[in-house]
Amino acid sequence: MLNATLDLKNTYTLFSVEDICKFVDNIYPEDFSYQKKIQLRFQLHHYEINVPSYPELKILSLIADLCQRLVETGKSIIYPLIYRLIRLVLTFLVSMATTKQAFSAMKIIKTRLRNRMKDDFFC
């Protein structure tokens, strides 16, 4: 969801402060205090107006590139909560992929084991 909201290909046309705040409330309720959520909302409003006008941020296509470019341009200091949110999302995506890969490997192993078991094993 955050990927679509921060869609860099369409020059932030889908950017929605409300959607991002709902996302934070639903997915990361423990990572942002009430005060930080208010600050995040202000940073998002400022980001919405300010950042899309920068040419070095318009040419990006991935959220990982955005994270890196925010650091390179110093915007991660200006928008620390947005930067933190993007890092959390990127970490979440990696952890989900790792979990899916582990379950996929386990499924293959279990299927092969079941296929090799003979009736004698169950007696």
- Number of domains the chain is built from: 1
Q: Does residue 71 sit within a domain?
A: yes
What angle (nearest 5°) sits at the alpha carbon of residue 24, between those of residues 88 and 7? 70
Whether the pLDDT of residue 17 is over 80: the answer is: yes
Give percent helix, percent strand, percent coil of the chain, each to the nearest 5. 75, 0, 25
Q: Does residue 63 sit within a domain?
A: yes
In percent, the amount of the chain with pLDDT more than 70 equals: 59
Domain hosting residue 92, numbered range: 2-118
In percent, the amount of the chain with pLDDT more than 90 equals: 15
Residues 60-101 have pLDDT tens digits of: 667 788 888 889 989 899 999 989 998 888 887 554 555 555
In this prediction, residue 107 carries a pLDDT of 65
Q: Does residue 123 sit within a domain?
A: no
38 pLDDT band (50/70/90 cuts)?
A: very high
